[in-house]
Amino acid sequence: MGHESFADNEVAGLLNKDFISIKVDREERPDIDHVYMTVTQALTGSGSWPMTIIMTPDKKPFYAGTYFPKNSRWGRPGLMELLPKIAEVWRNDRNQVNDSADRITRHVVSLGDGRPGTNLDRQTLDQAQAFFVQAYDSDQGGFGQPPKFPSAHQLSFLLRHYHHSQNQQTLAMVEKTLTQMRLGGIYDQLGFGFHRYSTDAQWLVPHFEKMLYDQAMLIMAYTEAYQATGKVFYAGVAEEIITYVLRDMTSTEGGFFSAEDADSEKLLVRSKVIYDGAIPSGNSVAVFNLLRLGHMTGSADNLTKAERIIKSFSAEVEQHPAGHSQLMVALEFALNPNYEVVIVGQPQSEDTLSMLAALRKPFLPQKVVLLRPADHEAAAEVTDIAPFTLPMAAKNGQATAYVCQEFACKLPTTSIDQMLKNLRQK
């Protein structure tokens, strides 16, 4: 529709005469996409992209569809005929249009009143992995057809699935994708950093825009690949991205530039989105953070909240697990044994720093780490939020590791090797 209609002078004339046209990038704003896709499905019985919504000035939709050609053909209305008719109805029968828009809005709002669902299990994780196997581009890496987005959250999920399954095919998909992206035109070979997406399957021709969120997510993906494989190539890419961000995306005041407008969207309804777009779903990130916080603090309340969110979206997620990669990251964490590692020592001492460094090197996605100062007064900030650390102490004045599994702790140790053995890494 972009080339056929929106760039056409005749269509543009009709649009500019009676409408205010707003083009929304569904990858950038999956929350808006979700709301109006719900409208499209309710009005037409199905939904796909491109999606066309016509709404009142206060953003209440009253007409929806998907693809509209410039001119009517084969029973499908064209914009040249449709737009004047809608403008005429708006001028001559506005009360009816507003009544219809109000009814549609009430219906969409009511759909947000979901019912708690069921627990998701490992079968959901395996279904997501199987989808990525099917969608994988074995020649160039990545998944699906162009345009190809980096979608680091998909790779983070696959790394965790590999960690627990030891499926070499899964690791190979991640490695090929990360390597091809770094070698392709989507990566700035001179100045570093990733462009937003590649317009072709070869990662060759980029969309020349760099987003802060992509850099952040890809730093994590390449770092985790280094942890999982020990290959310094991935660590080098992560360092290059950091170099780019600190040089070109950091203000003199210390904040970061985002490359996206800091505008706000009055939404028809605040949608509860769980599927990922170009960035991970905020709800899925919240679930992962609640799970980690629950294990860091010993708070069952945080774990219960995370479980409640997962259940509330379970019916939707089961339809297409791979579309919810960030939730799959959280689900991997929830379904597998977790380790709470507490290091008790002087924060800046060499033995404490060495223990922390040893914990960062391997890929251990099921762990959370707390640093508890040996001094009781200095430790108050940690023990207040993580009371289970209160009785822990440094042995013989040395940095001491407490490795706990679901809060059942092994004997404390001052040995890095023994600490890693307790984590089953030795």
The fold of 339-422 is Glutaredoxin (3.40.30)
For all residues of the chain together, what is the average pLDDT? Answer: 91
Q: Are 69 and 91 in contact (CB under 8 A)?
A: no
Instruction: Give the residue from 160, 172, 9 showing the smallest Cα distance to 80.
Output: 9
What Cα–Cα distance (Å) separates residue 360 from each residue in 253, 330, 344? 30, 20, 16
Identify the band that residue 260 occupies on the pLDDT scale cut at 50, 70 and 90. very low
pLDDT at 96 over 60: yes
pLDDT digits (tens, 9 = 90+) for 197-239: 898 999 999 988 899 999 999 999 999 999 999 999 999 999 9
When the candidates are 3.40.30.10, 3.40.1190.20, 2.40.110.10, 2.60.40.10, the CATH number that belongs to 2-111 is: 3.40.30.10
The fold of 122-248 is Glycosyltransferase (1.50.10)
Two structure tokens written together for 157: 């999920």
pLDDT at 74 over 90: no
Task: CATH 3.40.30.10 in the chain: give the residue spans.
Answer: 2-111
Query: Considering the chain, what percentage of its residues have pLDDT values greater than 70?
Result: 94
pTM: 0.80
Residue 391 DSSP label? T
Task: CATH 1.50.10.20 in the chain: give the residue spans.
Answer: 122-248
Residues 6+ apart with CB under 8 A from 238: 218, 219, 222, 223, 226
pLDDT digits (tens, 9 = 90+) for 75-86: 778 999 999 999
pLDDT digits (tens, 9 = 90+) for 329-372: 999 999 999 999 999 999 999 999 999 999 999 999 999 999 99
Phi first, then psi, for residue 201 (nearest 5°) are -75, -20
pLDDT at 262 over 60: no
